[in-house]
């Protein structure tokens, strides 16, 4: 049976009190429904504690958008995995393109974080994706191959159950221009093959999300693709109605 994860990346939005309101509206909108997909919200660090208290007793999962690979030490301004673990985070997003671009995170640094997250027993959403230039130069598959090979270097096959991949073409993030369904299916199929090549057959259970300008309008055509197992939703995850409509779409696809 198909599994589906709908994950909201709130980015640098929402104060703690705003976060409580947003997550409460998601709880209210889902509480009378049979929710067959997983729902995850990733607020900023400063809101994780408030969100954790608000979702207590519900099925809404919460996680973080980044972490440091060391468990403690002199790294001013950074947040460690044990700190997030103690707050009950179930997932950590690693390698988002905004971190790669604005904070110069390369595949080697991302691999250190990947190994640290997995070693701590937390689930990982590893973001990969090509820039517009790389796509135009026909380098999409080469870039994804490198991001997978280096990003997952020295990951153990038994850790596959903790891994989620998010394919996020950089040119589709926050632009309102989503990739076309054919492009998405082609890339997801390639990613799944690469994961098995790098990690062995246990990797066939790794789910691959699509991210990049997903809205209530295009969610159906994306989520119903064979190798798409959910979405990483940025801007639309801040608008309860749209986020809930994407969740409803996922549920109706799973019920088919």
Please, which residues have CB within 8 angstroms of residue 14's CB and are 6 or more apart in sequence? Answer: 22, 43, 44, 47, 238
**Least separation in angstroms between CB 168 and ligand PEP:** 5
Is residue 43 at the binding interface for ligand PEP, with CB under 6 A as the rule? no
**Least separation in angstroms between CB 213 and ligand PEP:** 4
Query: Of the two residues 68 and 211, which places its CB atom closer to ligand PEP in the complex?
Result: 211
d(CA 201, CA 199): 7
**Least separation in angstroms between CB 60 and ligand PEP:** 18
How big is the CA angle at 245 (ends 242 and 249), to the nearest 5 degrees? 140
Query: Of the two residues 163 and 214, which places its CB atom closer to ligand PEP in the complex?
Result: 214
Asked whether the beta carbons of 244 and 250 are under 8 A apart, the reply is no
Q: How far apart are the first and last CA of the chain?
A: 11
Asked whether the beta carbons of 211 and 234 are under 8 A apart, the reply is yes
- Looking from the CA of 50 toward its CB, the CA atoms found within 13 Å total 16
Is residue 214 at the binding interface for ligand PEP, with CB under 6 A as the rule? yes
Please, which residues have CB within 8 angstroms of residue 34's CB and are 6 or more apart in sequence? Answer: 251
* Phi, psi dihedral angles at 61 (to 5 degrees): -95, 155
Is residue 213 at the binding interface for ligand PEP, with CB under 6 A as the rule? yes
216-255 residues in contact with ligand PEP (CB under 6 A) are 232-236
Query: Of the two residues 119 and 174, which places its CB atom closer to ligand PEP in the complex?
Result: 174
Query: Of the two residues 140 and 213, which places its CB atom closer to ligand PEP in the complex?
Result: 213
Is residue 129 at the binding interface for ligand PEP, with CB under 6 A as the rule? no
**Least separation in angstroms between CB 158 and ligand PEP:** 28
Is residue 26 at the binding interface for ligand PEP, with CB under 6 A as the rule? no
Is residue 173 at the binding interface for ligand PEP, with CB under 6 A as the rule? yes
Residues at the site binding ligand PEP, with contacts judged by CB under 6 A: 9, 11, 168, 173-174, 211-214, 232-236
């Amino acid at each position: 049976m198909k599994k589906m994860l709908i994950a909201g990346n709130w980015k640098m939005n929402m104060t703690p009190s705003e976060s409580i309101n947003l997550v409460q509206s998601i709880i209210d909108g889902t509480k009378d429904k049979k929710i067959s997909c997983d729902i995850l919200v990733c607020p900023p660090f400063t809101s994780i504690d408030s969100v954790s208290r608000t979702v207590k007793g519900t099925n809404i999962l919460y996680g973080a958008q980044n972490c440091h690979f060391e468990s403690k030490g002199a790294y001013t301004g950074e947040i460690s995995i044990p700190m997030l673990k103690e707050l009950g985070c179930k997932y950590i997003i690693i390698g988002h393109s905004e971190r790669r671009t604005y904070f110069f995170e390369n595949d080697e640094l991302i691999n250190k974080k990947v190994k640290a997250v997995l070693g701590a027993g937390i689930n990982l959403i590893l973001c990969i994706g090509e820039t517009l230039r790389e796509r135009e130069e026909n380098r999409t598959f080469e870039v994804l191959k490198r991001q997978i090979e280096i990003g997952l270097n020295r990951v153990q096959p038994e850790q596959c159950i903790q891994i989620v991949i998010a394919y996020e073409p950089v040119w589709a993030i926050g632009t309102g221009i989503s990739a076309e369904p054919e492009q998405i299916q082609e890339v997801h199929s390639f990613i799944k093959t690469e994961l098995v090549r790098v990690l062995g057959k246990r990797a066939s259970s790794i789910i691959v999300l699509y991210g990049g300008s997903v809205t209530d309008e295009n969610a159906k055509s994306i989520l119903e693709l064979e190798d798409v197992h959910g979405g990483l939703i940025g801007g639309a995850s801040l608008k309860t109605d749209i986020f809930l409509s994407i969740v409803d779409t996922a549920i109706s696809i799973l019920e088919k």
